[in-house]
Structure 1
Amino acid sequence: MKPSEAMLNTEGTGPEPAQDALIDAYSRAVAAVADSAGPAVVRVQSAAPGRRGGGLGSGVVIAGDGLVLTNSHVVAAARRVRVGLPEGGDREAEVLGDDPATDLALLRVELPRGAATATLGDSKVLKRGHLVVGIGNPLGFESTVTAGIVSALGRSLRSQSGHLIDDVIQTDAALNPGNSGGALVAASGQVVGINTAMIAGAQGLAFAVSSNTARFVIGEFIAHGRVRRAHLGIAAQTVPLARRVALAIHAGANAVRIGEVQAGGPADLAGLRVGDILVALESVTIAGADDLLRLLNAERIGRPVQVSLLREGRLVTRTVTAQERVQPAAARR
């Protein structure tokens, strides 16, 4: 039997029942996600200085009091932006926080009564191959839905501002300009990422900032109006640990691999190297790049911290004096 014939039922008039049921289940899952999270995705347009027409992208309403999460590069250093609502009309929104280091920004806008909101989920539950749905406004086409799978986790990606964003989700969902700031949603209906970039000229390569990183950034915005954080001067990537290694050193299933060391930075001065795998900071297990980001808070600035790392199969400890990560003047406004 030819492959084409195998796809037909005994009468040759359509898909086999099992395949038909599988396609139907997939369609129902994507439709359910679109129905639950889609109404919480809005259009965001900035009128940034020096940018003709301003930036255009998407945003996700995450709270009923009008908090909207989007990309820093969509806001583009503007103090106020316009938010287009799914039910029509647009309103002015205030930029509460802008963090180019994670390409995230937080807005506040007055919403109509009963406006839909999305729930931020736990991005750590994601695995390669999981179904994800992208919702946004690509090329001005509002409320566009696209689906794909998680292609990889723990990527590092350089943002448009030149910062290296850690713990990025890679997906093959079809994203286009204008999807930036929109929602990447798991089959559960929870937002697990904020779409941040696609690779021009490539197919099946799109990226999102993890929801766990977004949670940390939102907390900083609300508490301080900006993200004040320490840094070690490294590019970090989440990697899995072999079970026997994790058990032997009492670490978690994942750790952080150093992919780049900034010359003259804290890690360089402490003797850390590319390829070192960080497993703990101050005796706290590091389960991923987002954990490291949260641990390096403002309290660590200027303080020596003990890091435990794997190097050439041995567990060693180094003392690193963290420095404050300084944002460009344009980002600080």
Structure 2
Amino acid sequence: MDTQFITFSETPLQPGMMATQDGTLLDAYSNTVVTVAKKVSQSVVQIKVSGRSSTQESAKNNPATRRPPGRGESDGGTGSGFIISTDGYIITNNHVVAGASNIQVSLPDSNEYEATLIGRDPATDIAVIKIYADGLKAIRFADSKQVQVGQIAIAVGNPYGFQYSLTAGVVSALGRTLRSESGRLIDDVIQTDAALNPGNSGGPLVNSNGDVIGVNTAVILPAQGICFAVSSNLAALVAGKLIMHGRVRRGYLGIAGQLINLTERIKQYNQLTTKSGVMVVSVEPDGVAGNSELHEGDIIVEFNGQPVATVDDLHRLLTDDSIGRLTQLTVLRQNRKKGIMVTPGEMK
């Protein structure tokens, strides 16, 4: 019986060929990063803030905005941002500019400009500032829904005041959530191992085309290579509202609530899909919200037909579209389902 061998190449593997192939791959990766660096370099800025009052200690002490010793005023800090329009709009993090009376922007050409705060949103840690300068180059947004785990992620910013530094890695995970300073959850957060340090906050996380897939916002300090960015789709949505209205409008029910677990018996009796709800601890009467039908002790389990299992679910459903609109809540009152009507107001 003849034995036949299958070969995959007519060219025999020569000594050193594997090293050559690895070198080619390395060159391709390096070329990608170098190309991206050149493309985005003129769009990333350094932000210096000063004039925080003593009442803004939480913002000043945020490790992402703290200057290293000897690098700035005791009431100041630095961060990063990126230009999104040729007329001077810049996205950064809320915690970079919160409470600052003076905001200075340094461009890659070393020119400095005083910036105007357009609006900030603590719930997503996004802020927009504006400078008046000529010849600005804007960076583009990518669709963060198309981002995949494992793809190249490149972070650009100004860590510890060192202007324009670049780190590269991959997208480590998608769909993470972060708790913002306002207490709300930030959804669709991108996790990356591209190294971030204090001062990177507000800078762009870009893909291999040099388009923004996220806004760098947080690190886990004791960890290595666990960094987070607000997704580009959320950042673009919030930035648009800040530019148009100076704020992001959100609904408000005028209640204090807490999570409560439901017994299996109550769940089955009321045909509920969730194992918990939001118990109303207190109701603010005659406030900005029409909530007179809500009673202390009610357990909210649905908002306009959508299940509510946690306070975060309620926050997510209280969008600007809900403001001033008569909406049905489903509550458990004395352990029985009851539909009531409320009119969310606008959160101030």
Q: TM-score, normalised by structure 1?
A: 0.71
Number of the residue aligned with 1:87: 109
* 1:74 pairs with one of 96, 113, 135: 96
Separation in 1, partners of 2:36, 2:343: 41
Larger radius of gyration: 2
Separation in 2, partners of 1:192, 1:258: 35
* Displacement after TM superposition at 1:161 (Å): 4.9
Number of the residue aligned with 2:53: 49
Partner letter of residue 143 of structure 2?
A: D
Partner letter of residue 130 of structure 2?
A: R
* Number of positions where the alignment pairs a residue of Structure 1 with one of Structure 2: 272
* Displacement after TM superposition at 1:186 (Å): 1.1
Partner letter of residue 131 of structure 2?
A: V
For the residue of structure 2 that corresponds to 1:39, the secondary structure is coil
Q: Is the 8 A contact 1:302 1:321 kept in 2?
A: no
For the residue of structure 1 that corresponds to 2:41, the secondary structure is helix
Separation in 2, partners of 1:92, 1:64: 16
For the residue of structure 1 that corresponds to 2:103, the secondary structure is strand
Q: Is the 8 A contact 1:304 1:319 kept in 2?
A: no
Q: Is the 8 A contact 1:193 1:209 kept in 2?
A: yes
Q: TM-score, normalised by structure 2?
A: 0.68
Please provide the CA RMSD for this pair: 3.5
For the residue of structure 2 that corresponds to 1:174, the secondary structure is coil
Q: Is the 8 A contact 1:46 1:76 kept in 2?
A: no
Separation in 1, partners of 2:107, 2:216: 19
* Displacement after TM superposition at 1:191 (Å): 0.6
Number of the residue aligned with 1:4: none
* 1:35 counterpart = 2:38: yes
Separation in 2, partners of 1:60, 1:271: 41
* Displacement after TM superposition at 1:36 (Å): 1.0
Judged with a 3 Å threshold, the aligned counterparts in structure 2 of structure 1 residues 325 and 165 are, in CA distance, closer, same or farther, namely: farther
Structure 1 residues 186-215: Cα deviation after superposition (integer angstroms, max 9, x where no partner): 112211111001111211100001111111
* Displacement after TM superposition at 1:11 (Å): 4.5
Q: Is the 8 A contact 2:159 2:200 kept in 1?
A: yes
* 1:128 pairs with one of 144, 149, 154: 149
Q: Is the 8 A contact 2:280 2:300 kept in 1?
A: no
Q: Is the 8 A contact 2:167 2:194 kept in 1?
A: yes
* Displacement after TM superposition at 1:264 (Å): 5.2
* 1:272 counterpart = 2:275: no
* 1:137 pairs with one of 158, 170, 179: 158
* Displacement after TM superposition at 1:53 (Å): 3.6
Number of the residue aligned with 2:223: 202
Separation in 1, partners of 2:140, 2:227: 22
Q: Is the 8 A contact 2:278 2:299 kept in 1?
A: no
Structure 1 residues 204-227: Cα deviation after superposition (integer angstroms, max 9, x where no partner): 100001111111111211221111
For the residue of structure 2 that corresponds to 1:115, the secondary structure is coil
* 2:188 pairs with one of 142, 158, 167: 167
Separation in 2, partners of 1:168, 1:127: 13
Identity of aligned residues (%): 43
Separation in 2, partners of 1:64, 1:18: 42
Separation in 2, partners of 1:262, 1:23: 57
* 2:125 pairs with one of 74, 81, 103: 103
Structure 1 residues 218-239: Cα deviation after superposition (integer angstroms, max 9, x where no partner): 12112211111227999xxxxx
Judged with a 3 Å threshold, the aligned counterparts in structure 2 of structure 1 residues 324 and 153 are, in CA distance, closer, same or farther, namely: farther
Structure 1 residues 247-297: Cα deviation after superposition (integer angstroms, max 9, x where no partner): xxxxxxxxxx9999686599x966439xxxx9xx889xxxxx9xx96x854
Number of the residue aligned with 2:170: 149
* 2:198 pairs with one of 141, 158, 177: 177
Separation in 2, partners of 1:21, 1:128: 24
Unaligned runs of 5+ in 2: 1-12, 55-59, 61-73, 258-273, 283-290, 292-296, 307-311, 330-338
Judged with a 3 Å threshold, the aligned counterparts in structure 2 of structure 1 residues 90 and 207 are, in CA distance, closer, same or farther, namely: same
Separation in 1, partners of 2:49, 2:280: 36
Q: Where in structure 2 are the equivalents of 1:242-253 lying within 5 Å?
A: none
* Displacement after TM superposition at 1:167 (Å): 1.6
Separation in 2, partners of 1:261, 1:169: 28
